Amino acid sequence: MSPVKCMEPQVGRCRYNVITHLMSASHSSQFHIGISGWRYPPWRGTFYPKEWPQRRELEYASSQVNSIEINGSFYALQRPQSFQAWYEATPENFMFSVKGGRFITHIRRLQDVKAPLANFFASGVLCLKEKLGPFLWQLPPSLKYERERLETFFELLPRDTRAAAKLARQHDAKVSGKAAMKVDEVRPLRHALEVRHASFQCAEFVELLRAHDVALVVADTAGKWPFMEDVTSDFIYVRLHGDEKLYASGYTEAALKEWARKLRVWARGSSPAGSKLTGPKAKTAAQGRDVFVYFDNDLKVRAPHDAQSLAHRLGLSKKPPTPGGLESADAFEPRHNWPDSSRRRR
């Protein structure tokens, strides 16, 4: 069976009947502020309007935030048709981050993963085209720092879409007949690593990330796992799992104000005052840095509101989110695009 092709988007297929928060398209930024995932039953009737169709939840969510972290790819290989549908359901200039599979990070624990990586990149991620942002690789709490293990893994990671397609062609039977390896344009690919063992809190690890141009995830986990704010690439990747209670607590206005302060400094290419550093301070990036932030505090239905509130503080929206969301679909207005906020400087 021949490989699955990523279809061109069908103009007019998706209607973006959603509220427009954003400033005019002339406004430009390098901030990508959003949520981790979008399919959560407690969000229905709270973040999502009452009786909003589940099949259109991504369409709505992508109108309220300009980036979403796909986390279904962590639990199982997705299909090209899914990635294609996600591409078509979202506005222009929207950006996805994609979480790498747990088979690679948690089961194989980064070892002997060339074939699993090939399967992952053949599963359809390339169908996201210009909406494809960084890849997130989250390590399990039991995995300790081992330089050689990480170096071997980093060297396997593709750094552009052409390299990803080349790796994808080495897939095994798990994705035979349902692989997508077509590249519409050669684009750079970025990678971020989230660690959860205290042994990673060493300067050698920070320098290793810089040597391989992999971003260290700044993970706020209510004190459960390591918190490091070292800059190791040309972009910043932040995951906010909860300020006081993991996956549950929301962020106060004071906390969001402090995060906004840090994000602005990182975006300018500097390091915020008071940063918790494990290694030497990063050099200032005169061209600035792209910033990706995802709220993962979804248990109490706080993630969407917190993401929208932070985006408002950063000047990405004209007004803060409506408390409790909208009552019905009748209040929606079209959303066709976001301002282009991707610098992709490589």
Q: What CATH number is attached to the domain comprising 198?
A: 3.20.20.410
Q: Does any domain span residue 162?
A: yes
Q: Does any domain span residue 6?
A: no
pLDDT digits (tens, 9 = 90+) for 173-184: 999 889 999 999
* Short-list 95, 38, 106, CA closest to 341: 95
Q: Does any domain span residue 20?
A: no
Q: Does any domain span residue 3?
A: no
Q: Does any domain span residue 223?
A: yes
**Per-residue pLDDT band at 17 (split at 50, 70, 90):** very low
List the domain range (segments joined by +) for residue 269. Answer: 31-331
Look at residue 7 and tell me whether its pLDDT is greater than 70. no
Q: Does any domain span residue 24?
A: no
Q: Does any domain span residue 19?
A: no
pLDDT digits (tens, 9 = 90+) for 31-46: 999 999 999 999 999 9
Could you tell me which residue, 319 or 19, shows the higher pLDDT?
Answer: 319
Classify the C-alpha dihedral 214-239-290-200 as positive or negative.
negative
Can you list the alpha helix ranges (DSSP code H) found in the chain?
A: 57-64, 72-75, 80-89, 102, 114-122, 147-156, 161-168, 203-211, 253-267, 303-313
pTM of the model: 0.89
Q: Does any domain span residue 322?
A: yes
Number of domains the chain contains: 1
